């Protein structure tokens, strides 16, 4: 069993056994039939992944590796808020007729700000500091910009990254206000693990820990039987992660620069109901 599998299984069991139901409360999400989408939730789940030891893709089912990377490049590299720049259709329901999701996600990372060293957006500020002042305790990004929330078609879920260099290893904390554990947990873990590898490589650092902090970690009521079946499946060893070692510029990475070797996994879960 991989570390990521064990962590995921234990997290799901803890939510199911010790979580709090929102049934009967006033909740925003709805199912396609218009009924309220209730959850079992736990407050502030914290998961740690040592990326120097293992790549955290679960093997209980396949996590769509290339699609994860495509989305993280869309946000962090292209700094786009338009689904026409994305190869998947996961954001289509949040886009307007022009493809925009409003002033959300990539848009915020692309806004330039004034610093003593000149104008930079948030991504370039991170890259600048890791090159010039790697032991700074101020290296972070934030997508939850209050004055722009009314112009976002969806408030950011994974909203903040804090980077920290310790003993020449790049570590990061991913803060997430809310997460659908079945649909999004390992998706987010995989894509931010890849992001940490990318930034570490172009900054001349080794990769360290990814710490994932989830304020509201929840399993939707209609996902409970799926989760129960999923966590009883056989597991496999963690896959081996490969990144193109020739890339030294963050903006030159492509999806083909990453691969997973020996990625074994269980059957796909089909027909997952999605609350919106």
Residues recognised as catalytic: 157
- 262 annotated ligand-binding residue: no
Within 13 Å and on the Cβ side, how many CA atoms surround 51?
A: 28
Identify the burial level of 74 via C-beta atoms within 10 angstroms of its C-beta, where 0-12 means exposed, 13-18 middle and 19 or more buried: buried
d(CA 264, CA 61): 9
**238: which 2 tokens?**
């963690």
CB atoms within 10 A of CB 57: 23
- 137 annotated ligand-binding residue: yes
- 57 annotated ligand-binding residue: no
- 263 annotated ligand-binding residue: no
- 36 annotated ligand-binding residue: no
**92: which 2 tokens?**
């289509």
Whether the Cβ atoms of residue 153 and residue 95 lie closer than 8 Å to each other: yes
> Which secondary structure element, helix H or strand E, spans residue 4, and what is its range?
helix 3-18
Whether the Cβ atoms of residue 196 and residue 247 lie closer than 8 Å to each other: no
- Annotate 42-86 with DSSP letters as a single string: EEEEEEEEETTT-----SSS---HHHHHHHHHHHHTS---BGGG-
- 220 annotated ligand-binding residue: yes
- 175 annotated ligand-binding residue: no
Whether the Cβ atoms of residue 249 and residue 34 lie closer than 8 Å to each other: no
- 188 annotated ligand-binding residue: yes
- Annotate 107-170 with DSSP letters as a single string: HHHH--EEETTEEE-HHHHHHHHHHH-TT-S--EEE---GGGGGGBSS--SEEEEEEEEETTEE
- 62 annotated ligand-binding residue: no
Q: Which residues make up each annotated binding site for dUMP?
A: 137-138, 177-180, 188, 218-220
Q: Which residues make up each annotated binding site?
A: 137-138, 177-180, 188, 218-220, 275
């Amino acid at each position: 069993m991989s570390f990521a599998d064990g962590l995921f299984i234990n997290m799901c069991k803890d939510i199911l056994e010790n979580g709090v139901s929102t049934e009967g409360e006033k909740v925003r999400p709805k199912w396609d039939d218009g009924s309220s989408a209730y959850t079992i939730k736990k407050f502030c789940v914290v998961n740690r992944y040592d990326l120097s030891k293992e790549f955290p893709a679960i093997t209980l089912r396949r996590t769509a590796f290339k699609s994860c990377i495509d989305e993280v490049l869309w946000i962090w590299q292209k700094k786009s808020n338009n689904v026409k720049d994305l190869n998947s259709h996961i954001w289509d329901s949040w886009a307007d007729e022009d493809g925009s999701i409003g002033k959300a996600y990539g848009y915020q990372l692309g806004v330039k700000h004034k610093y003593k060293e000149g104008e930079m957006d948030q991504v370039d500020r991170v890259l600048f500091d890791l090159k010039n002042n790697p032991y700074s305790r101020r290296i972070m990004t934030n997508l939850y910009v209050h004055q722009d929330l009314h112009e976002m078609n969806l408030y950011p879920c994974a909203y903040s990254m804090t980077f920290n260099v310790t003993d020449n290893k790049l570590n990061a904390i991913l803060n997430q206000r809310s997460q659908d554990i079945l649909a999004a947990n390992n998706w987010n873990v995989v894509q931010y693990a890849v992001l940490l590898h990318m930034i570490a490589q172009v900054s001349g650092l080794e990769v360290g820990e990814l710490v994932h902090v989830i304020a509201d970690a929840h399993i939707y009521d209609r996902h409970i039987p799926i989760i129960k079946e999923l966590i009883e499946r056989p597991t496999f060893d963690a896959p081996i992660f490969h990144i193109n070692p020739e890339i030294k510029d963050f903006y030159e990475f492509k999806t083909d620069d990453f691969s997973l070797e020996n990625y074994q996994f269980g059957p796909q879960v089909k027909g997952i109901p999605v609350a919106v």
